[in-house]
Structure 1
Amino acid sequence: MGGGLYRSANATPDGVQPPSDGATYISVDRIDQPMVESTSPAPEPPVGGTAAGNSAVMAIGSLVSRGTGFLRTLVLGSALGTFAVGNAYTTAQIFPGMVYEFLLGGILTSVLIPVLVQRRKVDSDGGEAYAQRLLTLAVIALWVATVAAVAAAPVLTSLYGSDKTSDEFQNLVTLLSYLMLPMIFFTGLSALISAVLNTRGHFAAPMWAPILNNLVVIATFGLYIAIFGAEIIEPDEMTAGRIILLGGGTLLGVIVQAAGLFPALRKVGFRWRWRFDFRALGLRELGRLGAWMICYVAVSQIGLAVLFNLLNRAGDENGAGPLIYNNVFLLLNMAHGIIAVSIVTALMPRMSAAAGDGRFADLTADLSRGTRMITAVLAPVAVVFGVLALPISVALFRWGAYGADSAVATSTVLIVAALALVPFSISQLFTFAFYALPDTRMPALINIPVVVLRVLVQIALFAAFSTQFTASGLMLGNAVSYVAAAVLSAWLLRPRVGRIGLSEIMRTFGKVLVAALGAAVVGLVVITLLPGGEHLSRPQAILQLVVGGVVIGGSYVGLALLLRIGEITEVVGMVRRKLGR
């Protein structure tokens, strides 16, 4: 139900595999105990090293992965800018992820990894033969899909483009797609190898491999700037050398990422062997389990096609296009990944175990606490996004070809994204609650009206307002759909699991809203007293960001303690205990 530039986190419902975006996890051992930071437990003892050592490696890898990933985004904007060429690259880059998600992403998360874990436990060979068959079939399917996608590149361009975009823009997207669509194969291969490693208790390599990808792409854009400069050009000025460098360098990054995982396979004792006896996989059962997930992803991709079509229409008229929207969604997803994914990952094993034992009261208690925890911890982040949108955009993105006007446009979208952050994370938590039952059918069915609502709101806002508001309107459509998804999911969950503690959740919502509004007012007052204006310099933006962030965070925590928001008092208590030691 994402409504953004979706990228699979490869996180499983049973908490087997931690997200590849490098989140910090929060385990909740008991409802009445304080939160304790840790990593998601593996199904088997880690291969090589102690649990503490592996946790440290993953924590460092998470930090480096996030840092290099964000630097990659900054260098992209600096090299290409936010207009036609930058939007063309962003559009072409989404195609491999779209095809991969449709083929494997959702199924890997909800079906294949749990099956690999089960076969790892029950098969006499530790599930090795089963994994070899699965890898063989998946590699063949990925290769066929990649060839088909490359052949269909012009069709994809027409679907995600716009009839108003120029022929030069469409041609540039198509040429970049020819080079970047083979990423489907290597992305899928990387995800499959990571799944095999995770089910054997090895998390370090899958955590560090994306960093190799980021470094290659950063080097690609650095070389692009060194050779061609950081300036805004038109699509018809993109020479063959520029196109080959951008598309080929992006593809090379994924190839290096996949190649970097093979040594870890040998380390855990897994041997790659081609096996073509696919009947032993139980394809009918896998198909039954994965059918609803395919439906879920397919509906989401329809929404994504509409999203890109509208964004490219706006970008063609110098409005905020795909690249600006993608940068803002990246910020939203980072906050979601660091906080909400941590909580969901920690709660999933508990909710899955409770559902399996028929202890639905325990499941709803975890779901209620997760909802309150996500709301309380993400609310100040949303305030920071809304109040400090302009200094954030200037300080983070205004480099090279990413000019001052683009930073202002980015800030407008970020203000609206602040409204979407908490509903987005809560809707994801409820989706995973269905997976804990386990049920992939209901999330797929819920996704249909949610995406329809999102598309209708987005099209209506696009028709009602100028193209300058398009990206903000699309983000507002996301926010509306996230609220609808959360409400609909809660309504459909209740007959199956019982009351989820709505009164307690609403009390927390009310307290959090008061604390967030108070922090926002204090933040706005402080920002007006600091130097700066609509066109901030970078030093002014950094000053506003640092001072405003501290003031907003401090005000929110103070008001939360005053209002006795339990989730915040737990965190503060945990910090005090650690400092006391």
Structure 2
Amino acid sequence: MSRLMRASAIMAAGTMVSRVTGFVRTMVLASAIGVRGLGDAYNAAYAIPYAILDLLLLGVLSSVIVPMVVKAQQRDPDGGRAYEQRLLTLATVALVAVAILAVVAAPLLIDLYTAWPRGSREFQVAVLLAQFILPQLAFFGIGSVAGAILNTRDRFAAPMWAPVINNVVVIVVFLLYSGGSDINEITDFDLAVLGLGTTLGIVAQASVLVVALKRIGFSFRPRFDVRNAGLGEMAKAGSWTIGYVVVSQLGFMLITNLASAAGNEVSGHGITPYTLAFQLFQLPYGIVGVSVITAMLPRMSRSVANGRLDEVRTEFGSGVRLISSVMVPASLLLMVLGPAITVPLYAHGETGVADAVYIGNVLQVYGLALMPFSIFQLLLRVFYSFGDTRTPVFVGAGTTAASALLMLVANAALPARYLVMGLAFAYAVAYALGAIIAWTLASRRVHGLGGWTIGMALTRMYLAALPTAVLALAAVWVTQLAFGQLAFLNSLIILAVGGGLGGLLYLAVAHKIRIPEVNSIVGMVAGRVGR
């Protein structure tokens, strides 16, 4: 537990700064281009490489590359150095080709991901932005492979801090942008500033990771001796991961098509509210969950390679409890404080208070998904540590199918004004079902996951978080009774009481009832502050 916490703490610190600068970036973007036509076009164009990045980091890299690099480090006389060079060479060539093809196919991609007519202004702007943004794919991939190699050597800081550089670059670009939010008035030059500026941030991020590799003594030399690259083994494992990518992308395409259609009917209730709420929903998981998972997977892979299933169970249980100690109160606070969070963040410039409140309403629904989503992602790593990429495809396919069915029901039953909230609810229910199925299968694989122990720990965490949720509800009710409609100032009051004091209350109650994960986190932070 202590090693996992130390590694996770390093990554969580970098991820925290990354997420904070990421929200500054999102705030500047929403203020500059709004959440309506231009905002939807930008987010549709940006969503395509962003979704692929998400799947690359959480799918191919973790399920195929990390376990294979770990095996090469243990098996090869040179500690896997030549294997890593071949891998980076092949990834660079392949991803540059993918990026070029994606730019050429930009009109087709936008057509697939949205419901906009080809002749509409939204479609035309989204295509041009996509052509500026899609070259990111090459740099996404190169940086991600470099980060994976760093992770296998227990060097977690650079992969978590590099996105900060990306965010800073893009924030500067958005601050320099002066084209307004009217999609009918924006010029091609303004679109180039938005698109190329976004890509420039990823170039900077990838450069930081390549430099970090060099600093640990990794000397990159192009290697094209593919016979020794283990492509057969990689293709066998990766083919199932590609299936997972395809299934997930079909689900994501349904989301963006339904959301863009809703935005056509009710301006400001389309792709952009969904995207901004989803980014906020991912914050707790991104800070804590990704950090724990990234530190946990190489260790589980080594334990599997050594035939020590008891260590896999121990690592998984520690990871679930550590993540849940943060996710449980965070999920309840998101459900209560959604609009109070989004109004201070987004109600500026071209984005009004009503638009920001709607984003908060979507975020409240997403709060339901935080725990099942986090546990689902942890469970997939159990399969990946065994080199099993087939089972996650079937679990992911079932989850996506359930989500798609529920989304279509929401589309048929809900007015366009509430559709994006319905999509978020479908997402939550589907991941809850997916987590149950994944747990059952993973438990069989490792001969038990300690469900009773984990269940008791989660129950104690929810009991500790309940007073926090009550305090947050009271803060919302009293503040709105005193000041009326949500605005910047009263939202900050609600956050200070419900989020700030509520968080301290959770820590106090958790300490009182002796939740060890919370006590460990508090002790580690107190120790660092006391130095």
Q: Answer whether TM exceeds 0.5 for this pair.
A: yes
Q: Taking structure 1 as reference, are residues 493 and 392 closer, same or farther at Cα in structure 2, changes over 3 Å only?
A: same
How many residues are paired up?
529
Show the 5 A alignment for 1:312-351: 312-317=260-265, 318-351=267-300
- Matched with 1:39 is 7
Contiguous gaps of at least 5 residues in structure 1 = 1-26, 30-35, 41-54
TM-fit CA distance, 1:356: 4.0
Q: Taking structure 1 as reference, are residues 516 and 203 closer, same or farther at Cα in structure 2, changes over 3 Å only?
A: closer
The AA in structure 1 aligned to 2:122 is F
TM-fit CA distance, 1:216: 1.8
- Matched with 2:23 is 70
Q: Taking structure 1 as reference, are residues 91 and 360 closer, same or farther at Cα in structure 2, changes over 3 Å only?
A: same
Distance in 2, Cα, partners of 1:201 & 1:548: 37
Question: SS state of the match for residue 388, structure 1?
Answer: helix
Question: Does structure 2 retain, via aligned residues, the 8 Å contact 1:102–1:294?
Answer: no
Question: Are residue 378 (structure 1) and residue 327 (structure 2) matched?
Answer: yes
TM-fit CA distance, 1:459: 1.4
* Equivalent position to 1:220, from 173, 176, 187: 173
Between 1:215-224 and 1:163-172, the stretch displaced more is 163-172
In terms of fraction of residues, the more helix-rich structure is: 2
Q: What's the TM-score once normalised by structure 1's chain length?
A: 0.83
Show the 5 A alignment for 1:61-460: 61-99=14-52, 106-163=59-116, 167-199=120-152, 203-224=156-177, 227-228=178-179, 231-233=180-182, 235-317=183-265, 318-460=267-409
The AA in structure 2 aligned to 1:553 is G
Identity in percent: 38
Contiguous gaps of at least 5 residues in structure 2 = none
Distance in 2, Cα, partners of 1:292 & 1:559: 44
Q: Taking structure 1 as reference, are residues 76 and 534 closer, same or farther at Cα in structure 2, changes over 3 Å only?
A: farther
User: How far does the alpha carbon of each residue in 1:240-265 deviate from its partner, in whole angstroms, 9 at most, with x for none?
Assistant: 12111111111222223333444444
Between 1:341-350 and 1:400-409, the stretch displaced more is 341-350
* Equivalent position to 2:478, from 511, 521, 529: 529
Distance in 2, Cα, partners of 1:348 & 1:125: 23
Between 1:283-292 and 1:299-308, the stretch displaced more is 283-292
Question: SS state of the match for residue 222, structure 2?
Answer: coil
Distance in 2, Cα, partners of 1:242 & 1:341: 35
TM-fit CA distance, 1:369: 4.5
Q: Taking structure 1 as reference, are residues 445 and 576 closer, same or farther at Cα in structure 2, changes over 3 Å only?
A: same
Question: Does structure 1 retain, via aligned residues, the 8 Å contact 2:63–2:387?
Answer: no
Distance in 1, Cα, partners of 2:316 & 2:212: 36
Distance in 2, Cα, partners of 1:93 & 1:388: 27
Distance in 2, Cα, partners of 1:60 & 1:517: 27
Question: Are residue 491 (structure 1) and residue 440 (structure 2) matched?
Answer: yes
Question: Does structure 2 retain, via aligned residues, the 8 Å contact 1:91–1:308?
Answer: yes
Question: SS state of the match for residue 184, structure 2?
Answer: helix
Question: Does structure 1 retain, via aligned residues, the 8 Å contact 2:329–2:462?
Answer: no
Q: What's the TM-score once normalised by structure 2's chain length?
A: 0.90
TM-fit CA distance, 1:322: 2.0
Question: SS state of the match for residue 38, structure 1?
Answer: helix
Between 1:392-401 and 1:100-109, the stretch displaced more is 100-109
Distance in 2, Cα, partners of 1:375 & 1:132: 37
TM-fit CA distance, 1:371: 3.2
User: How far does the alpha carbon of each residue in 1:82-128 deviate from its partner, in whole angstroms, 9 at most, with x for none?
Assistant: 11101110110122234556778732222223333433454444434
TM-fit CA distance, 1:289: 1.8
RMSD of aligned Cα (Å): 2.9
TM-fit CA distance, 1:176: 0.8
- Matched with 1:538 is 488
Question: Does structure 1 retain, via aligned residues, the 8 Å contact 2:150–2:213?
Answer: yes
Distance in 2, Cα, partners of 1:342 & 1:576: 20
Between 1:518-527 and 1:565-574, the stretch displaced more is 565-574
Q: Taking structure 1 as reference, are residues 147 and 268 closer, same or farther at Cα in structure 2, changes over 3 Å only?
A: same
